[in-house]
Every structure is written in structure tokens, then in C-alpha cells.
């Protein structure tokens, strides 16, 4: 039996487990299962893999998307650029092979850990149909781990953006929520919420932006998928904006993870 799963902490709710369990059943995949593997500290990753030697792939969620990087033997380009990994492929490799390849990762291991960011793929594929070939600028609300994939995609697509945060950061171009003015909204037609504001059960929350200046030329994208329509999206819809939640992104990133885990491709 091949094992796949989600690691992070805590893991109180998992889209991935439900998705893959239903996928395996629908597609008649009987030799695979998907489980939750909560680890509070990323240093326990080796123990997890030692205890479950049949694990062939992992999805990674908070708080480990960034701090897992030093434990990986190889990281694909976009994940390295974003500085975050949400998908790990586990392949067999002896410590001698790893030593000759010059790789470092989890010490004294007999497996190779490859890191990917399928959030980048999922977000890009779900965003592109909404924006066409336009050259509109974007506002990225929040600058946590979830924003890393978003910023990577915007850069790949050549879309200029400003990041909006609650507290001052070391990035001089960032804007504070309290300093947002009508012209920021009017001049940035793509607005992406990467904050948790509005996530169930706190459905009455939303990012504090001047919604009255949103119009039918705007696109509002919320990485949140529960509830289906957040207050952020509802405020945009009522003013004529195109809106989208994060569900399709989740599905696309999950399917991309499966493609990576089952690929025979080898990387240097």
C-alpha cells in the first residue's frame, strides 16, 4: 500500500484528505491511501518518514511550508523562488548516492525528498481565465506564507503589484491597510486576499479596504474556500466585480501534487 498524506500542525480540518479519499474511490485506485500526519516541529519529519516507510508523497501546510526547506534534497525553481514548499515527493535513495550528488537534507536518510509548490500552479491556472491579456495592476492583501505563491505567479505573468499589510514591514513599497486610499483601489483592478479574514467560523470578518471604490472592472480573488462566498467576495460582487474563491486553486494544486508523486521524472 502506497501512503500519501498531509503534514502540518494542527490538522483540525483537511480538504486534501477528503479530496484524495474520494479521488481514489472514484478512480478505482485501491493500492493508495491518504492520511493526516500532524507534526508540531519540522525536525520530527525524519521520525515520521522512518515510522511510515510507505509514504511516497506529502502535502505540507502551516506552519511548515517555509521551515521545511532545509530538510529537502532538491527544490524546484518556482518553489525556491517563492521560498515555500507545499508538496514533497519521497523517492528511494541511499545515503551514498546522496553523498555523491552533494545533496543535503534530512540526515542519515535512505530516501530523497523533493520539494515543489503546487499552490503556484493552482493559483496561476485559476487566475488566468479571469484576467485575460490585460495589464492591470494588483493588490495583494497580506504578506504571510500564502502570499508567497501569489506573488510568484504575478511576477511570472508580468503583473505589477503592491502588498498591503496590517503592520509595517521591511519592504518600503508595502502599504498599510490604514493607509489605503480610494486611488489604490481604483488603480489596482486585481485584488487578492491571502489573509485568513473571513474564514469559517469568522464569516463576518473581511479585509479593511475601501470597498465603495470597487466597480465592474475589478477582479476579487479570495484564497479562502470556506465559506464559498466570503464577505470580501460579497462586497465585490455587489459592486459588479468578478469574484472567485480558492476552491478551484485547491483542486488544481491537489491534482498537480498527484501528478508529481506518480511521475517517473528524475531531477539532478
> Which of 79, 100, 116 is the last residue in one of the domains?
116
Q: Which are the catalytic amino acids?
A: 65
pLDDT value for 145: 82
The 10s digit of each residue's pLDDT in 179-217 is: 999 999 999 999 999 999 999 999 999 999 999 999 999
Radius of gyration of the chain (CA): 20
Edge to edge, the sheet with strand 190-193 lists 175-176, 161-165, 138-141, 190-193, 219-222, 242-244
Q: Are residues 110 and 184 in the same domain?
A: no
Q: Are residues 178 and 68 in the same domain?
A: no
CATH number at residue 151: 3.40.50.720
Q: Are residues 94 and 208 in the same domain?
A: no
pLDDT value for 268: 63
Q: Are residues 64 and 140 in the same domain?
A: no
Q: Are residues 132 and 181 in the same domain?
A: yes
d(CA 17, CA 260): 17
Torsion, CA 10, CA 13, CA 19, CA 25, rounded to 10: 100
State which residues form the domain around 206.
121-249
Q: Are residues 128 and 61 in the same domain?
A: no
Q: Are residues 241 and 145 in the same domain?
A: yes
Q: Are residues 132 and 225 in the same domain?
A: yes
The 10s digit of each residue's pLDDT in 208-259 is: 999 999 999 999 999 999 999 999 999 999 999 999 999 999 999 999 999 9
The 10s digit of each residue's pLDDT in 91-146 is: 986 544 444 454 444 545 678 999 999 999 999 999 999 997 767 899 999 998 88
Q: Are residues 125 and 241 in the same domain?
A: yes
Cell of 173: 513599497
Amino acid at each position: 500500500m502506497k501512503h500519501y498524506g498531509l503534514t502540518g500542525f494542527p490538522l483540525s480540518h483537511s480538504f486534501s484528505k477528503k479530496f484524495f479519499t474520494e479521488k481514489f474511490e472514484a478512480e478505482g485506485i485501491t493500492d493508495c491511501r491518504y492520511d493526516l500526519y500532524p507534526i508540531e516541529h519540522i525536525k520530527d519529519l525524519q521520525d515520521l518518514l522512518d515510522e511510515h516507510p510507505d509514504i511516497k508523497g506529502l502535502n505540507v501546510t502551516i506552519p511548515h511550508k517555509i521551515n521545511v526547506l532545509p530538510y529537502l534534497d532538491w527544490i524546484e525553481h518556482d518553489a525556491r523562488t517563492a521560498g515555500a514548499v507545499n508538496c514533497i515527493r519521497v523517492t528511494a535513495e541511499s545515503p551514498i548516492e546522496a553523498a555523491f550528488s552533494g545533496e543535503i537534507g534530512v540526515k542519515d536518510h535512505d530516501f530523497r525528498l523533493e520539494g515543489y509548490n503546487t499552490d503556484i500552479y493552482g493559483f496561476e491556472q485559476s487566475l488566468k481565465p479571469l484576467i485575460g491579456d490585460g495589464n492591470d495592476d494588483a493588490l495583494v492583501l497580506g504578506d504571510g506564507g500564502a502570499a508567497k505563491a501569489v506573488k510568484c505567479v504575478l511576477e511570472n505573468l508580468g503583473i505589477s503589484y503592491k502588498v498591503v499589510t496590517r503592520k509595517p514591514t521591511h519592504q518600503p513599497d508595502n502599504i498599510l491597510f490604514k493607509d489605503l486610499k480610494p486611488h489604490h483601489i481604483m488603480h489596482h483592478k486585481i485584488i487578492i486576499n491571502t489573509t485568513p479574514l473571513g474564514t469559517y467560523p469568522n464569516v463576518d470578518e473581511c479585509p479593511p479596504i475601501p470597498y465603495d471604490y470597487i466597480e465592474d472592472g475589478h477582479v476579487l480573488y479570495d484564497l479562502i474556500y470556506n465559506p464559498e462566498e466570503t464577505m470580501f467576495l460579497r462586497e465585490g460582487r455587489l459592486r459588479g466585480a468578478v469574484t472567485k474563491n480558492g476552491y478551484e486553486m485547491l483542486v488544481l494544486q491537489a491534482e498537480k501534487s498527484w501528478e508529481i508523486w506518480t511521475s517517473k521524472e528524475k531531477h539532478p
